[in-house]
């Protein structure tokens, strides 16, 4: 795995955006896997700046979100459909018809999960999957003990994740209990993985993912299996690496 350690979060955003832009320039019809959460926000803002400056053309780019909460309305500001629209689709000027989010409101969630897998395959697979990491080592919403071969499916959010994500809601009780998430097996099929992490709160998870055993207890350790995986970290997130 390639590990890049940079002084601060702005450096992480710039370096990660440089990598994403490189993929898009090489492949104008690139399919990007899109994480939500705080970690990639600087990266998305930097890409939007390049698009606004005319330095990057994303006309042909498609996107697939990593995950979605189950049971919150589409228009809820914290549904990942809303978050992706606000932080990626609109700022980059992507065609909304090319940006996909799992359907967490579907009456048949297992069918929605299978449909999402088919949509990714029909798009030709994901060229570059952008990832954050949970403080508990989760990847997407694949919580500790998720199968390393898992596919898109319903998962129960870990209490730690609900507590961590309470900052986006009025309180932790408002954080949904379930989600639809790409599986670890789904994520591993992307041609390239790019994980960004900032801040000391991620340092233990980063160290476990990079230096710990490959183990379901730290889902992000699956990056060790991928031939083209990179982590772009700031010094605080990297501080427990040996
Ligand atoms: C988001 C996702 C999660 C986050 C992780 C880190 O789509 O799948 O794995 O990447 O929870 O969240 P932040 O970036 O908010 O610290």
| Residue 181 bridge partners (DSSP) | 67, 153
Q: Which of 15, 138, 164, 192 is catalytic?
A: 138
**What percent of the chain has pLDDT above 70?**
100
Query: What pLDDT does residue 197 have?
Result: 99
Query: What pLDDT does residue 225 have?
Result: 98
Give me ligand 1 centre to Cα 160, in Å: 12
Q: How many residues does the chain have?
A: 242
DSSP H helices, the chain, are: 9-26, 41-52, 80-84, 90-92, 109-122, 159-165, 184-188, 203-211
> In the annotation, is 142 catalytic?
no
**What percent of the chain has pLDDT above 90?**
99
DSSP 8-state symbol, 166: G
ipTM over 0.95: yes
Rounded CA separation 229/210 (Å): 11
Q: For 113-137, write each residue's pLDDT tens digit.
A: 999 999 999 999 999 999 999 999 9
> Which atom number of ligand 1 is nearest to the Cα of residue 66?
7
Mutate to test the pocket of ligand 1, among 63, 133, 182, 193 (most ligand atoms within 8 A of CB): 133
Q: Which residue has a Cα nearest atom 10 of ligand 1?
A: 132
Give me ligand 1 centre to Cα 132, in Å: 5
Say if residues 216 and 185 touch (Cβ distance below 8 Å).
no
Query: What pLDDT does residue 115 have?
Result: 98
Q: Which residue has a Cα nearest atom 11 of ligand 1?
A: 134
Q: For 9-42, write each residue's pLDDT tens digit.
A: 999 999 999 999 999 999 999 999 999 999 999 9
- The ranges assigned to domains in the chain are 2-234
Query: What pLDDT does residue 8 have?
Result: 98
Query: What pLDDT does residue 207 have?
Result: 98
Query: What pLDDT does residue 132 have?
Result: 98
202 confidence band (pLDDT: 50, 70, 90) = very high
Give me ligand 1 centre to Cα 61, in Å: 22
Largest CA distance in the chain: 47
Query: What pLDDT does residue 95 have?
Result: 97
User: Which tokens hold the place of 174?
Assistant: 């408002």
Query: What pLDDT does residue 18 have?
Result: 98
Q: Which residue has a Cα nearest atom 12 of ligand 1?
A: 37
Query: What pLDDT does residue 116 have?
Result: 98
**What's the mean pLDDT in 96-105?**
98
Query: What pLDDT does residue 4 have?
Result: 98
> In the annotation, is 143 catalytic?
yes
Ligand 1 lining (C-beta closer than 6 Å)? 35-39, 66-67, 132-134, 138-141
> Which atom number of ligand 1 is nearest to the Cα of residue 131?
10
Say if residues 62 and 99 touch (Cβ distance below 8 Å).
yes
Give me ligand 1 centre to Cα 16, in Å: 16
Strands 62-65 and 153-156: unpaired
**What's the mean pLDDT in 84-94?**
98
CATH architecture assignment, domain 2-234: 3-Layer(aba) Sandwich (3.40)
Give me ligand 1 centre to Cα 77, in Å: 16
| Residue 3 bridge partners (DSSP) | 231
């Amino acid at each position: 795995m390639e590990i890049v350690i940079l002084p601060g979060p702005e450096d992480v955003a710039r370096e990660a955006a440089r990598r994403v832009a490189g993929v898009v320039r090489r492949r104008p019809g690139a399919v990007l896997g899109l994480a939500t959460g705080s970690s990639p926000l600087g990266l998305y803002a930097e890409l939007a700046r390049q698009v606004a400056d005319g330095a990057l053309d994303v006309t042909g780019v498609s996107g697939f979100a990593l995950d979605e909460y189950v049971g919150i309305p589409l228009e809820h500001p914290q549904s990942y459909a809303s978050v992706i629209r606000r932080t990626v689709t609109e700022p980059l000027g992507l065609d909304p018809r090319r940006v996909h989010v799992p359907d967490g409101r579907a009456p048949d969630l297992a069918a929605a999960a299978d449909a999402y897998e088919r949509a990714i395959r029909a798009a030709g697979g994901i060229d570059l999957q952008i990832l954050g990491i949970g403080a508990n080592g989760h990847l997407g919403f694949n919580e500790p003990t998720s199968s390393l071969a898992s596919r898109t499916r319903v998962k129960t959010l870990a209490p730690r994740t609900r507590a961590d994500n309470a900052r986006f809601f009025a309180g932790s009780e408002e954080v949904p209990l379930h989600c639809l998430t790409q599986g670890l097996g789904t994520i591993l099929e992307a041609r390239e993985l790019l994980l960004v992490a900032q801040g000391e709160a991620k340092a233990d998870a980063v160290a476990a993912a990079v230096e710990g055993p490959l183990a379901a207890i730290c889902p992000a350790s699956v990056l060790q299996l991928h031939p083209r995986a990179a982590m772009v970290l700031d010094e605080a997130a990297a501080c427990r690496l040996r």
